[in-house]
Each structure stands twice: as C-alpha cells, then as structure tokens.
A and B are shown apart, each in its own frame.
Chain A
Amino acid sequence: MIIASLFQAAVQATGNGIEHIAQPASGGFWFLMTVIKLLVLFTIYMVGVMLVIWAERRICAFIQDRRGPNRVGPHGLLQSVADGVKNIMKEETYPGQAYTPLFVLAPPIALIPALLTWAVIPYGAPWDSKWGTIDMALAPLPIGFLFTLAISSLGVYGIVLAGWSSNNKYALLGGLRSSAQMISYEISMGMSTIPILILAGNVSLGQIVGQQGGMGLHWNIINATVAFFVFFVAAFAETNRVPFDLPEAESELVAGYHSEYSAMKFSMFFIAEYANVMTVSALMSTLFFGGWDIPFTTWDNLPPHTLLKTLLTFGMIWVKILFFVFVFIWVRWTLPRFRYDQLMALGWKVMLPVALTYIVVVAVATYGLDASGIHPSDWKFAVAMLVLNIVLMGILLGVIDRGRLISPAYSRLDKRNMDKLRRARYDRVRFQNPPVAEGAD
C-alpha cells in the first residue's frame, strides 16, 4: 500500500513517458540535452562494445584456463583498439561475383538496428532540472516497446543480404538459417513480452520501468518469470550467439554469412553482434529487472529527482546490463551448438506454446487478482504472482527435463513404419535408376 502510494506520487512527480512529452523542457535546453544524451550514449555504447569484446576474449580465456589478451594496454584493455586499427588498415576484398551494392550495404544494415533500439531505452531516472524535466531516454517514445520489436526484426536483413550478395554457398546457407531462426524466435520473443504489457497496461518503456519501481518487489521477473525464461532463450537466438549460432556455425559453414567479408566490413558485423548483445541485455534489464530501478530502496523513485539520482540509477542499469552480458559470454563458452532441427523444434514446439499459454495465465491471474481487489501495485499481487510463477517454472522445467523436448530424434519408429519407409526408399531408388539396358555401352 505504501509502495503503491509512493509509486503513484513518483509517477505524478516525474511525469514519465507520455506525460513528459506533454510538458517538454524549453526548446533550446531540450535540444542541448538531447545532443548531450546522444553523444554520451553513443560514446558509452561504442566504448562498451569494445570493452565487451575484450571481456568476451578475456572471460573465454579464463574459462579455458588461458590468459587471453593482456598485452595491449593494462590487462589488454586496448586490444579492441589495436584490432580496430588493424582492420582499418587491411584490404577490403570483394568476391568476383558478389553483388557489390548490397555487399557493401549489408554490414551497416546489420549494425544500425542494434544501435537504434538504444534510443528508446530509459537509462536513468528523469532529472528535474531548473529548466524542466529531462527524460533519460534519448527518445522517450510513447510506443517505445513496439519500436524495439519493430527494429529488432530489421537486424536479420543485414545478415540475409550479406549471405546472399556474397555469392557463396556457405554464406547463403548462413543467411537462410539466420532468417529462419530469427523469424521463429522473434515470435516467441514478442509473445513472451505480452504478459508485461498486460501488467503494465502500456507500451511506453518509461511507464514499464516506472511501474516496476519501488523496493524491487514489482520487477517483472517476479511477476512474469516464465516470460523472462522464454525471452532469455529467444534473446540468444536473436543475437546469433551460441547455442544458437547457426548462421555462423564455423564448423559447418566456414564463417556463415560473413565468410566473404574482410577488414572493416567484417569488423562491422562483429560490432553488430556485440551491440546486439548489449541491446538485448538492456532490454532484459528494462523489461524484467526494473530498468534503472535500484532494488531495496524507494529513494530513487521519489522526488526530488536530482542529478545524483539520475547518475546512480544510470550506474544501476549498467550493472544489470553488464551482468546479462556476462551471462551471454558465460553461456557461449559452455554450451555446444544446437542442431538445426532441434533449434526449430525448440522454437516452435516449446517456446511458442509456452509463451502463448503464459499470456493466458497472466491475463487470467491479473484479472482474477484485480477482481478480488488486489491491484498490480500492491505487494500482495507480487507475492501471489511469485508463488504462481514458482509453480509454473517448476512444471515447465520438469517437463523440459523429462520430455527430451529438444531432441526430436528421440521418437522411435515402430517396426511397421520402419518397413514402410524402407520400402518407399527402395521404390524411389529403383524408379530413379532404371536397370541399364544390355549392350548400352
């Protein structure tokens, strides 16, 4: 109850999302702040990608009992700079039969959507300056969440176009796999976030974060754990990371969609991959882990919204993002790649039905609790959802554990069907290769 009233007060005072657009800070100041936000965000983002690449190499080395890059700069921190310089110096190669316009365009097409998503993520508590409230999302769109869904679907174009324009069979296969994989998992990803929209009653990311504010009890990880599980798995598929790195699949497809790329164009794909990892981590933090909310205190959600609060909450969201980035790296160096049929089976037969069912469950639960007088901002609501989610996760993990759901090769054929298959194959072979007439040669 207290939290609820505090939350109400916080929302009214800060004017998150839509309300904020209705009362913009004065033109010149707003413009200046937007430019500053743009520069800060872009700088942090690009430097972050660089450091994440370094972290990936370092962590993978530690996991494999190696040391990793430790020569360039302190602890090898500047390794990515050295690699960047090298890649700028290197020759750009063009395959003879490549379709050059798309071949050149594909890397930026892969990179830009990963960067765009960042525009709408609120990365700090709003700042009540003397000249008006500044929302800490670069572009506090009222439809921010729909924007992220729309943009994240664009990422696949870069990869498919790269694969196709290279005129290389492996690259094309990588691109095809990528499109199939991304479309399959995008559906479960989108569906897994609908429970959050039900809970928030809004598609503005600022509002979604605001609704999770408080002690950390209203984080959507508590309200929608199963949705997070689905989102998490889909996020790996969307970023083409192990165990879903089939578009790259270096053991099968050389290097997949970027086999033919060299120098800075390859680098751009590389940056795009890590940019995607950071974007998806930021989305997970925003949607499920309260965004910039500092847990166990309501201090950050209450006015006055000073610059200190903005900076601390900015630090908090980065803690969350980096944690997820670490999980991505950790998983990558642990799990082997899925087989293609396993990938598809997991996407369509497990993730999608789970996500769809969960929408119904959350809708019913929210409606039921609301009807019995427990509102989403109440602590009882969180406890009820927590219990429900623990039960559901138990059932889900139990079923996945026992059912061998990710291995369709499990199904055994009975003898009758096996004979039928054998006969069919025999007929086909005989039909395709008619007996050679005598004396034909």
Chain B
Amino acid sequence: MAIGVKVLERPIKQTSYLRATAQGLALTLKHLLRPMSDKVTIQYPEEKFAVSARWRGTHRMLTTEDGKAKCVACGLCPTVCPSNCIKLVPGEDENGNRYPLVFEIDEFRCIFCGYCQEVCPEEAIHVGRHYENAEYSREGFVYDLERLMAQTHPVCEMWDPADPKGE
C-alpha cells in the first residue's frame, strides 16, 4: 500500500495545492465573466458553420444555359472514383451528342475525395460546400441526375497549385 512513489524535488511554487487551486479558481472566474460574444458555441439552426472554400460535400451537377446537364457521359468519373459510387449509363442523341441516360451517385459509398470534379473535362460534376444531408431512408442517399442538377449550394473550389492558399 504505502510504497513510496519516486517524486522529484520541485520548488514549492510548482507543487503547492493551495496556490494551484487559487490560480485555477481565478482562471475559471475569468472565463466565467467573459462576454457572451466570446463563446465558441455555434447556435446551429440560426448560425451556421462557415465552411472552407475547398470543403468537399455532397455533389452537384452543373447545367448549361438551356437547363441540360453539362455531362457528356465520357465515363472518366466512374473510372477515377476510388469508392465506385458513380453509376453512369451513356446515351447518344440524334446529333451524335453523348449524354448520360443514368447518372447516380451513392453518397453513402462516396468518400468525398473530389476526384470526379478534378477529372471532369466539362466541369459538370462538382463536390459541394454543403453538409446538411439528413434523409429518412437509405435510398434517399442515392442521388439521381435530376437531384444532382437541382442542388443549388456553392461548389468546391479545387486546390490550385498556382494559388496554394486559395487567395
């Protein structure tokens, strides 16, 4: 029971319980009296967390002026996708323009690496600056083309080697 634990000889200033207690109480009192504006809490539904310009959240498909998806169904994004979450079935219209017949992203499988945005030659698919993704069912997390086009949140700005700090 009473085995001596090796304790270094230190000056009383460092080992005194009373002084440490007094210092601690002073510190907590100082924080207690801080104004409300110094609180770190974000009042969530009213205030929102300011996400970085390079935040990679759920996807968005950009559209052309006539409201069609910019995607040309080249197949680069499902190829590059490391988590294999993009399902793409290409189609071709009478003018020979390729377009996606099916374009689905399973947001549950997605790891939000942003490779799809990086690889896209048409700047069509983007990861978004967005984080409120609650759904009532698992199926709700498979976003189809219509849904991806309907998203309005800002898109991620990819890292630019020429401007590493994003200024």
Contacts of B6 in A (CB 8 A): 412
Q: Nearest Cβ in chain A — how far from B149, in angstroms?
A: 37
Residues of A within 8 A of B40 (CB): 65-66
Stretch from B26-34, B75-83, B100-108 contacting the other chain: B26-34
User: Which residues of B are found within 8 Å of A63, using beta-carbon distances?
Assistant: 28, 31-32
Size band of the B side of the interface?
20 to 34
Q: Which residue of B lies closest to A425 (CB)?
A: B3
**B162 on interface, CB distance cutoff 8 Å:** no
The A interface, classified by DSSP as helix, strand, loop or mixed, is helix
Residues of chain B with a CB closer than 8 A to A410's CB: 7
Q: Are A402's CB and B17's CB within 8 A?
A: no
What does DSSP make chain B's interface, helix, strand, loop or mixed?
A: helix
Interface flag for A401 (CB, 8 Å): yes
A31 within 8 A of B: no
B134 adjacent to chain A (CB < 8 Å):
no
Q: Which of B4, B15, B19, B32 contacts A411 (CB 8 A)?
A: B4
Q: Is B50 engaged at the interface, CB distance under 8 Å to the other chain? A: no
With a CB–CB cut-off of 8 A, which chain B residues contact A335?
A: 21, 24
Distance (Å) between the CB of B26 and the closest chain A CB? 9
A contact residues around B27 at 8 Å (CB) = 334
Q: Is the CB of A67 within 8 A of B28?
A: no
- Minimum CB distance partner of A414 in chain B: B4
Interface size on A, residues (CB 8 A): 29
Complex Cα–Cα for A402 and B34 (A): 33
Q: Once the chains bind, are B4 and A64 in contact (CB under 8 Å)?
A: no
Cβ of A65: which chain B residues have Cβ within 8 Å of it?
31, 34, 38-40
Find residues 400-441 in chain A having any chain B CB closer than 8 Å to their own CB: 400-402, 404, 406-413, 417-418, 421
Give bound CA distance, A418 to B24, whole Å.
36
CB within 8 A of A334: which of B5, B12, B19, B28?
B28
Asked if A333 lies at the interface with its beta carbon under 8 angstroms from chain B, I say yes
Asked if B4 and A333 make an inter-chain contact with CB atoms under 8 angstroms apart, the answer reads no
Are B31 and A400 in touch, CB under 8 angstroms? no
Known: A65-B38, A65-B40, A66-B40. A406 touches B17 (CB 8 A): yes
Q: Which residues of B contact A (CB under 8 A)?
A: 2-7, 12, 15-19, 21, 24-25, 27-29, 31-32, 34, 36, 38-41, 43
Known contacts A65-B39, A330-B28, A330-B32; 5 further A-B pairs (Cβ under 8 A): A62-B39, A66-B41, A331-B25, A404-B15, A407-B17
Interface residues of A (CB under 8 A from B): 59, 61-67, 330-331, 333-335, 397, 400-402, 404, 406-413, 417-418, 421
